[in-house]
């Protein structure tokens, strides 16, 4: 067993509570992080018959997503998932404030046959995976750590991913490099690419709600946008991403 088997996984946490290597499952999160007991927790099941059309919501505008420049992006395994740091000129318009991009990451779930990998579900149906693009409110707060505890501090895009026959070349810009970050804390530079190509085409139809980080410390600081349109990757592409998860799940013992 590698030394990192008992690594403390700090997904978003400024100060860390170390629990010496015991397994802290989702049911125990709230013992360590009171916010995980909150009433605005994510993810949610979107029940479309209970959603309300809000004419004040406008289409989201990704800012600079396609201007990736020549400097490589950094892809890393934070012990929980694969994360890509985003340059600070990328942001999001179409919300009451300007939001600056921080990072994006993927969720694959537990991957069992009866359990899809997405975090959000629509009418009880999960997708196979979910991409989250994380931004902070740069009009009101100086950085991510200041914003992440504040209501309206973060804006996260949720992109549901389903598997099909066709290969989605945009996702290869990430998937091609996952084998290089099989272990927690591994970091590799990857060629910069067009982030907008990962998003669905229709950015005008989405579900908006106020929710939280989906892992401890569960701060209820996120303006969520879950797009109605799903993006598709091939089964083979999904299989490659799942391989990474199985490997690094072995090392995921503690959330803190």
Q: Which residues bind Zn ion (CB under 5 A)?
A: 132
Least distance to Zn ion, CB of residue 80, Å: 9
Give CA angle at 163 (103, 181), nearest 5°: 40
Q: Is 1 exposed, middle or buried (0-12, 13-18, 19+ CB in 10 A)?
A: exposed
Token reading at 92 = 């999001």
Cβ closest to Zn ion, residue 132 vs residue 248: 132
**Min dist. Cβ of residue 81 to Zn ion (A):** 7
CA dihedral 14, 45, 110, 32 (to 10 degrees): 30
Measure the CA–CA gap between 77 and 182, rounded to whole angstroms.
Answer: 7
Residue in 80, 107, 135, 238 annotated catalytic? 80
CB of 104 to Zn ion, least distance (A): 9
Can you state the percent helix, strand and coil of the chain, rounding each to 5?
20, 30, 50
Q: Quote the CA–CA distance of 192 and 53 in Å, as a whole number.
A: 37
Place of tokens 């000129």: 89
For the question of residue 80 being annotated catalytic, the response is yes
Taking the CA atoms of 217, 218, 224 and 229 in sequence, report the sign of the dihedral they define.
positive
Check if the beta carbon of residue 161 is closer than 8 Å to that of residue 230: yes
Contacts of 78 (CB under 8 A, 6+ apart): 9, 10, 11, 105, 184, 185
**CB-nearest residue to Zn ion:** 132
**Cα torsion 184, 227, 209, 147: sign:** positive
The residues annotated as belonging to the active site are 80
């Amino acid at each position: 067993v590698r030394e990192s088997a008992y690594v403390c996984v700090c997904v978003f946490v400024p100060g860390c509570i170390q629990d010496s290597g015991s397994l802290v499952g989702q049911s125990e999160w709230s013992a360590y992080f009171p916010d995980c007991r909150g009433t605005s927790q994510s993810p949610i099941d979107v029940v479309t018959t209970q959603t309300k059309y809000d004419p004040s919501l406008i289409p989201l505008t990704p800012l600079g997503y396609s201007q990736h420049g020549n400097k490589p992006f950094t892809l890393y395994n934070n012990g929980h998932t694969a994360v890509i740091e985003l340059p600070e000129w990328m942001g999001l318009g179409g919300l009451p404030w300007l939001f600056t991009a921080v990072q994006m990451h993927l969720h694959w779930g537990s991957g069992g046959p009866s359990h899809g990998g997405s975090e959000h579900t629509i009418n009880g149906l999960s997708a196979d995976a979910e991409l989250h693009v994380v931004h902070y409110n740069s009009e009101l707060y100086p950085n991510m750590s200041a914003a992440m505890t504040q209501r309206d501090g973060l804006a996260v895009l949720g992109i549901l991913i389903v598997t099909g026959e066709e290969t989605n070349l945009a996702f290869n810009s990430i998937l091609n490099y996952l084998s290089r970050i099989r272990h927690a804390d591994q970091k590799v530079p990857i060629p910069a690419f067009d982030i907008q190509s990962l998003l669905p085409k229709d950015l005008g139809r989405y579900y908006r709600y106020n929710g939280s980080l989906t892992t401890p410390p569960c701060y209820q600081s996120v303006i969520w946008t879950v797009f109605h349109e799903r993006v598709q990757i091939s089964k083979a592409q999904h299989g490659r991403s799942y391989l990474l998860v199985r490997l690094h799940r072995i090392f995921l013992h503690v959330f803190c």
